[in-house]
């Protein structure tokens, strides 16, 4: 136990057990009292609230803080650290100094040992954290007294500072538990602006302002995340006044355009929709099938008809306006090219129009998560395009409990995308070492050239060398696609117009709890 912790008072904050009901949130008149409580409709809930298992790893968790955080423009800024890290040893050593006077919500002080415990636990192979590979560069993390933390890296890793938005957990609470099954997963304690007040699984999570928050007391005293999987139900509850705001797909967000007292918020994102094409599948494992599907799909039509223009065609995992995007890989729809490719490869049309080769029909199942209208529409459009090339895609909606065990064999209408450095999203999406590791590399994609590019770009210090590697990777994906990339999606939110200070960031695929106009809810001010 550190000296600072010994000197501290050990009084604990009692977390309220009841959750606020999702009743009509207010009249929208700008009254300060009405603005103190917010109810937001989201499509899903996290499996855990423990950063040790991956919760909040990209920042913006309301319960926790990282050493660093991101501002509205996605720049890095100090959070639990007093400043950006001191970098030495040719990029192999990062030193952080902790902010003084920070306590966890139970009153115990933050120390360097908590930071060390957090990172060491995440890196422990016994911890079920599928994002462990994101911290692969770390050789050692150690405390230098109570207020300094030193990271030693195996190799210079250019974007390492951005990895330290990882939320810090208290060793005195989580240290005596199994990180995979312990109570900390559902009863977390952090340094963030809010504490968990209640969690009704499948229904809602309620948060209340943390009176010990080092950044000052938030004006929004409580907020509830109402878990509503169905897009249409979320829209209905927002219109009825049951919600203050909600994540909505474009077609439903547009219906609120003329509602007085409500405001549409649009966020650009790295979020893309793609079809995973398992290499273990008899049909999807055939590269000619995968290339034909890539050529047959009408991406622009999906943007226009499904997203109502709120997005762009996806020719790979990076958006076309990203500085790391490989110019020249754009591909217009080429149905003639797709059919010619299949003819040459020996996939011949049958009597029912579906192609076959060596006794196997060009047919496979494509799952999408039930209740997600945007993914359903993408899946149906994809199946329609594939049919024109002679490939049968059988679309099925199911829960993730049904989909997950089948991800290695059946195609999935999936969503991915990470902000920041290309390494953050591409490595887990494509590297063969992560094939079948949860939602990492879902189709089991294995391309040695892509692996080499990922490893080179991860370790290189020179930006030009990294850029060359990522360009080679994107071109390799055109020749050997493990996914059919469809669209990049703008995120849309509708909220009652009762607060000032709302902004959006460039967002990852994962949004709702961490991303959205509420990424900085602790800074909102009621309108006067």
The yes/no answer on whether domain 3-250+491-526 falls in CATH 3.90.1150.10 is no
**What is the rounded average pLDDT of the residues 178-185?**
96
The C-alpha angle 442, 135, 2, rounded to 5 degrees, equals 135
Return the pLDDT at 514: 72
Q: Where are the alpha helices (DSSP H) in 460-509?
A: 463-479
Average pLDDT over residues 338-348: 97
The pLDDT-based confidence of 12 (bands split at 50, 70, 90) is very low
Statement: residue 1 has pLDDT above 80 = no
Using alpha carbons, select from 294, 249, 285 the residue that is nearest to residue 411: 285
* Residue 22 banded pLDDT, cuts 50, 70, 90: very low
Of all residues in the chain, the percent with pLDDT exceeding 70 is 93
Helix pair angle (373-388, 231-239), 10° resolution: 140
**Helix axis angle, 422-430 to 463-479, nearest 10°:** 40
| Of 3 and 195, more confident | 195
Q: What is the pLDDT of residues 474-513, one digit of tens each?
A: 999 999 999 999 999 999 999 999 999 999 999 988 766 6
Query: pLDDT digits over 28-44, tens only?
Result: 444 555 668 999 999 88
Instruction: Give Cα separations from 125 to 52, 56, 91, 198 (angstroms).
Output: 12, 19, 25, 31
**pLDDT band per the 50, 70, 90 thresholds, residue 13:** very low
As annotated, the residues of the chain forming the CATH 3.40.190.10 domain(s) are 3-250+491-526
Q: Which CATH superfamily is domain 272-489 in?
A: Dipeptide-binding Protein; Domain 3 (3.10.105.10)
CB neighbour class for 353 (10 Å; exposed up to 12, middle 13-18, buried from 19): exposed
- In this prediction, residue 420 has a pLDDT band, given cuts at 50, 70 and 90, of confident
The pLDDT of residue 498: 92
- If pLDDT is split at 50, 70 and 90, which confidence band does 18 have? very low
Identify the band that residue 99 occupies on the pLDDT scale cut at 50, 70 and 90. Answer: very high
Residue 450 near residue 261, CB atoms below 8 Å: no
pLDDT over 80 (residue 245): yes
Which token pair is 411? 């195609």
Task: Give pLDDT, residue 16.
Answer: 31
Average pLDDT over residues 447-465: 94
| 470 contacts 322 by C-beta, under 8 angstroms | no
* Average pLDDT over the chain, rounded to an integer: 91
Q: Say which range, 17-21, 89-93, 458-462, 469-473, has the weakest mean pLDDT.
A: 17-21
Kindly indicate the confidence band of residue 371, based on its pLDDT and cuts at 50, 70 and 90: confident
SS3 58: coil
Least trusted range by pLDDT, from 130-139, 171-180, 468-477, 483-492: 130-139
58-72, 448-462, 499-513: segment of lowest average pLDDT: 499-513
Mean pLDDT for 203-223 is: 95
Q: Would you list the DSSP string of 375-433?
A: HHHHHHHHHHHHHHTT-EEEEEEE-HHHHGGGTTTSEEEEEE--SSSHHHHHHHHH-GG
> Which ranges in the chain are annotated with CATH 3.10.105.10?
272-489
For 136-156, how does the pLDDT look when each residue is reduced to its tens digit (9 = 90+)?
999 999 999 999 999 999 999
pLDDT at 169 over 70: yes
How much of the chain exceeds pLDDT 90, in percent? 82
């Amino acid at each position: 136990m550190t000296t600072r912790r010994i000197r501290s008072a050990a009084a604990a904050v009692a977390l309220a057990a009841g959750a606020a009901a999702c009743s009509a949130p207010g009249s929208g008149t700008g009254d300060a009292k009405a603005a103190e409580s917010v109810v937001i409709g989201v499509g899903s809930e996290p499996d855990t609230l423990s950063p040790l298992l991956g919760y909040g790893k990209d920042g913006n968790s309301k319960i926790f803080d990282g050493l660093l955080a991101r501002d509205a423009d996605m720049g890095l800024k100090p959070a639990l650290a007093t400043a950006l890290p001191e970098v030495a040893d040719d990029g192999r050593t990062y030193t952080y100094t902790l902010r003084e006077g920070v306590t966890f919500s139970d009153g115990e002080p933050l120390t360097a040992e908590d930071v060390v415990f957090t990172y060491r636990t995440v890196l422990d192979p016994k911890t079920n954290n599928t994002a462990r590979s994101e911290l692969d560069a770390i050789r050692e993390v150690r405390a230098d007294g109570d207020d300094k933390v030193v990271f030693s890296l195996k190799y210079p890793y250019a974007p390492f500072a951005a990895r330290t938005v990882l939320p810090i957990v208290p060793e005195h609470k989580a240290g005596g538990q199994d990180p995979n099954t312990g109570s900390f997963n559902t009863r977390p304690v952090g340094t963030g602006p809010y504490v968990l007040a209640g969690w009704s699984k499948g229904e809602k999570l309620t948060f209340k302002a943390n009176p010990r928050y080092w950044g000052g007391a938030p004006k929004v005293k409580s907020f509830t995340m109402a878990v509503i999987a169905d897009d249409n139900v979320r829209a209905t509850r927002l219109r009825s006044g049951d919600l203050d705001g909600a994540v909505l797909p474009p077609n439903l967000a547009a219906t609120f355009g003329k509602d007085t007292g409500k405001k549409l918020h649009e966020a650009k994102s790295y979020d893309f929709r793609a079809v995973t094409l398992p290499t273990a599948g008899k049909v999807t494992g055939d590269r000619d099938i995968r290339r034909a599907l890539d050529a047959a799909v009408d991406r622009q039509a999906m943007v226009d008809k499904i997203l109502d223009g709120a997005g762009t065609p996806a020719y790979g995992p990076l958006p076309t306006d990203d500085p790391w995007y490989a110019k020249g890989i754009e591909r217009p729809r080429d149905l003639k090219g797709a059919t010619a490719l299949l003819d040459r490869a020996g996939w011949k049309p049958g009597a029912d129009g579906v192609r076959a080769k060596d006794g196997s029909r060009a047919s496979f199942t494509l799952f999408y998560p039930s209740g997600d209208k945007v993914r359903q529409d993408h899946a149906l459009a994809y199946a329609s395009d594939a049919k024109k090339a002679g490939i049968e895609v059988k679309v099925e909606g199911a829960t993730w409990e049904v989909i997950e065990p089948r991800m290695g064999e059946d195609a999935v209408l999936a969503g991915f995308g990470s902000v920041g450095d290309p390494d953050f999203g591409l490595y887990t999406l494509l590297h063969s070492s992560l094939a079948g590791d949860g939602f990492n590399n879902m189709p089991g994609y294995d391309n040695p050239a892509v692996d080499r590019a990922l490893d080179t770009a991860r370790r290189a210090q020179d930006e030009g060398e990294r850029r060359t590697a990522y360009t080679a990777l994107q071109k390799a994906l055109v020749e050997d696609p493990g996914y059919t990339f469809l669209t990049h999606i703008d995120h849309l939110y509708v909220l009652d117009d009762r607060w000032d200070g709302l902004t959006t960031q460039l967002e990852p695929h994962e949004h709702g709890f961490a991303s959205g106009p509420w990424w900085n809810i602790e800074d909102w001010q009621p309108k006067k």
